[in-house]
Amino acid sequence: MAVGSFSAGLSGLNANAAYLSVIGNNLANINTLGYKASTVSFADLVSQTVGGTSVNPMQVGLGVVTGSISPVFSQGAIENTRESTNVALQGNGLFVVRSDDGNAYTRAGNFSFNADGKLITPDGWRVQGYTDLDPLTGEVVTTGGLTDIVVPPGVLREPVATTNVRAQINLDSNAAVTGAVNYSTSMEFFDTLGSKHAVTVDFQKTGAGAWTYKATVPQADVNGGAGRFQVASGTLTFDGTGTLIAPAADVALTVPA
């Protein structure tokens, strides 16, 4: 038996050990925030061509090596933690965090404020962002560099009321027409005083590609009464591919002060 046979077999064992190590790491981090998984790819260590250099030459691999170990950044499930400093990314993107050694990137958004008012990760990295607002538009100014996000203790900013809410909602086209609500969801918004409210949107199927919606808030938030207060209602029309064709414009919700 040639020495190359021992080398090829040993390289296979080493590559398999690396694969098992990655699997173990994935299992160990199954409950780690922001962690999805890592994948392993393999490559030929070296190959030898035998049987000439014809159109279909024969190649014999002389070993295998771990080509790369790549983290998976796919979208995970977003859960409500009821912590105002916990945030999540929908789609592509990474949070920028910084230490004295430089910047790093993460998908985990379980942040909190430290004693100095800095927004940090659980292991002390400072979350980076844009903190200046345009005084005319109220929008975040992104022309400067990233800085620490700091809210000094005892310092409050003027509350900013919610002006736009965008939601991604899937309605089941095969839902039965029952005369009752088929689907319901809720969204949070803030008023000019900084108070948080919840608007509930109920969807009811009325026919093929036809739905009605009704948005309500607690009556107690409006006039101190009981029950629900309706702030918007209308119809939704979808074509055969499930694309929304009406209404074409955004829906306006008006909540009495």
Q: Kindly report, residue by residue over 134-170, the tens digit of the pLDDT.
A: 888 888 888 888 999 998 776 666 788 888 888 888 8
pLDDT at 92 (0 to 100): 83
**Percent with pLDDT over 70 in the chain:** 88
Mean pLDDT of 166-186: 91
In this predicted model, which residue has the larger pLDDT, 191 or 60?
Answer: 191
Q: Which residue, 166, 168, 175, is CA-closest to 211? A: 175
* pLDDT at residue 17 greater than cutoff 80: yes
In eight-state DSSP terms, residue 116 is T
Q: Which among 164, 139, 157, 217 is positioned nearest to 193, based on CA atoms?
A: 157
Bridge partners, residue 150, by sequence: 118
Q: Is a pLDDT exceeding 70 seen at residue 118?
A: yes
C-alpha distance from residue 105 to each of 40, 80, 127, 200, 213 (Å): 21, 22, 10, 35, 40
Q: Nearest Cα to 78, choosing from 70, 67, 86?
A: 86
Portions of the chain given CATH number 2.60.98.20: 158-257
- Please determine, for residue 205, whether its predicted confidence score (pLDDT) is greater than 50: yes
Long-range contacts (CB closer than 8 Å, 24 or more residues apart) made by 217-220: 217/255
Copy the structure tokens of residue 208. 């093929």
Q: Torsion angle of alpha carbons 110, 114, 118, 119, nearest 10°?
A: 0
End-to-end Cα distance, the chain:
87
Q: How far is residue 250's CA from residue 134's CA, in Å, rounded to a whole number?
A: 25
Higher-pLDDT residue of 59 and 213 is: 213
CB 95 within 8 A of CB 106: yes
CATH of domain 158-257: 2.60.98.20
Of the chain, the percentage scoring pLDDT greater than 90 comes to 31
CA separation (Å) from 115 to 84, 129, 157? 17, 19, 18
Q: Which long-range contacts (CB under 8 A, 24 or more apart) does 77-83 make?
A: 81/110, 83/110, 83/112
Angle among Cα 23, 29, 31 to the nearest 5 degrees reads 135
Mean pLDDT of the 5-32 span: 83
Q: How many residues are listed for the chain in this entry?
A: 257
